[in-house]
Amino acid sequence: MGDVLVLVGTTKGAFVFTSDAARTRWRVDGPHFPGEAVYSLAFDQRAGRTRLLAGVHSNHWGATIRTSDDFGRTWSEAERQAVRFPESSGLSLAQVWQIVPGRAEEPDVVWCGVEPAALFRSDDAGVTWSPVQGLLEHEHRPRWMPGGGGLCLHTIVLDPTNPDRMGIAISTAGFYRTDDGGKSWRARNSGVRAVFLPDQHPEFGQCVHKVTHHLARPERLFLQNHWGLYRSDDWGDSWQDIANGVPSDFGFPIQSHPHEPDTVYAIPLQSDEFRVVPEAKLRVYRTQDAGASWAPLTDGLPQSKAFESVLRDGLAVDSHDPAGVYFGTRSGKLYGSHDAGERWKAIAEALPPICCVKTAVVGTA
């Protein structure tokens, strides 16, 4: 009880880091799935489970979801390809980008976002999956364009107060919301720029990199865009620029604090063309006033010649108090802070390139 898991997906397998609540000493287990890329990981501890879910991609044999109920000692995989597009769609699964356990009231529901952009739902805790037809058949689909990572649905945000409402984000299509349980989806990108298009404020087509929110204020979203940091106070109906005090508003990850609705973390990058941290200083930026201002967190992080970058799912925050904050770089370094970002230490320094970092406190379903 209180032990912390930090799940790290890399281009060559997954690693499971474990610590007690002090989060000063870490055990590492892995690699799981050596040689295969892991772009999504999740831990589901609803309904008495301790289930790890991993989105694994074999360069040869395709993408799949594997599960473990014993913290990674053994893994299971559906014999048939469980996440699969219907033949009528003309689409084939390329990658599983996101796995999100559903609401507490729906303990067997799990969602996953995939490439090409689609949302799948499982009603048996991740064993079998079905596509969400309302999004699969969306009228905008023919005009969605892939970003550098492919046409991926990488973000899923659930409304804990309304089972019919959720949001998703697609690169490059933008943020979409459903208010009817997935039957219909509307683009919600008003105010978000698309600097790479002639019309910089289209209805859709924005390259949203990540969206986060606090469960106590689910209607307020924070969005890291392909250029642009934004906040919405109305579930995405409108967005305001909050890039106040960051060295760049380009970046990928953004993550809410577990206990403070006004606190959010981001890791800006220099630019679209030069995707490393500005001035080669590895800085996590934190706002504690919902984006009115941002300040760098640097204690323990290299502040010169650090040509690092962090991908969209490379930043995670645990639910202890003070919160633990973790991020992984494309150069295979995993950093952690057990005091909400005030001080940092390298947990691992020579992993394969890190695709995603997720965390959970065991026993806090």
Partner 1 sequence: MGVSVVLPRALLPYARGLGTLKIEEPCPTVRDALQATAAQWPAVIDRVLTEQGALRRHVNVFVGDESIAFLDGLDTRVDDGETITIVPAVSGG
If one asks whether residue 87 binds partner 1 (CB under 8 A), the answer comes out as yes
**Interface region with partner 1, contact rule CB under 8 A, candidates 18-26, 78-86, 232-240, 284-292:** 78-86
The C-alpha atoms of residue 99 and residue 53 are separated, in whole angstroms, by 7
What is the chain's percent helix, strand, coil content, to nearest 5?
5, 40, 55
Judged by CB, which is closer to partner 1: 25, or 80? 80
What residue spans of 68-172 are helical by DSSP H? 133-136
- Looking at 48, 90, 142, 198, which residue binds partner 1 (CB under 8 A)? 90
Q: How many CB atoms lie within 10 A of CB 74?
A: 9
Beta-carbon contacts of residue 48 (< 8 Å; ≥ 6 apart)? none
Report in angstroms how near the CB of residue 52 gets to partner 1 at its nearest.
20
Q: Which of 52, 93, 221, 315 binds partner 1 (CB under 8 A)?
A: 93
CB closer to partner 1 out of 113 and 167 = 113
Q: Which is nearer to partner 1, 37 or 301 (CB)?
A: 37
Instruction: Give residues with Cβ within 8 angstroms of 226, minimum separation 6.
Output: 147, 171, 172, 194, 195, 196, 206, 207, 208, 209, 250, 272
- Is 11 one of the binding residues for partner 1 (CB under 8 A)? yes
Rounded distance, CA 60 to CA 58, Å? Answer: 5
Please tell me the distance from the alpha carbon of residue 102 to that of residue 183, in angstroms, as a whole number. Answer: 17
- Give the nearer residue to partner 1 in terms of CB position, either 93 or 208: 93
For residue 57, list its beta bridge partners. 37, 63
Contact range with partner 1 by CB under 8 A, out of 75-83, 166-174, 195-203, 250-258: 75-83
Return the residues of window 29-58 that contact partner 1 according to CB under 8 A: 35, 58
92 binds partner 1 (CB under 8 A): yes
Task: List Cβ neighbours of 208 (8 Å cut-off, separation of 6 or more).
Answer: 155, 169, 170, 171, 174, 175, 189, 192, 223, 224, 225, 226
Please identify, using beta-carbon distances, which residue of 114 and 242 lies nearer to partner 1.
114
Using the rule CB under 8 A, which residue among 3, 49, 62, 300 binds partner 1? Answer: 62
For residue 159, give the nearest of 169, 168, 151, 150 by alpha carbon.
168
CB of 150 to partner 1, least distance (A): 13
Interacting span for partner 1 (CB under 8 A) from 21-29, 82-90, 201-209, 245-253: 82-90
Residue 131 vs 314, nearer CB to partner 1:
131
> Interface with partner 1 by CB under 8 A: which residues?
11, 35, 58-62, 79-81, 84-87, 90-93
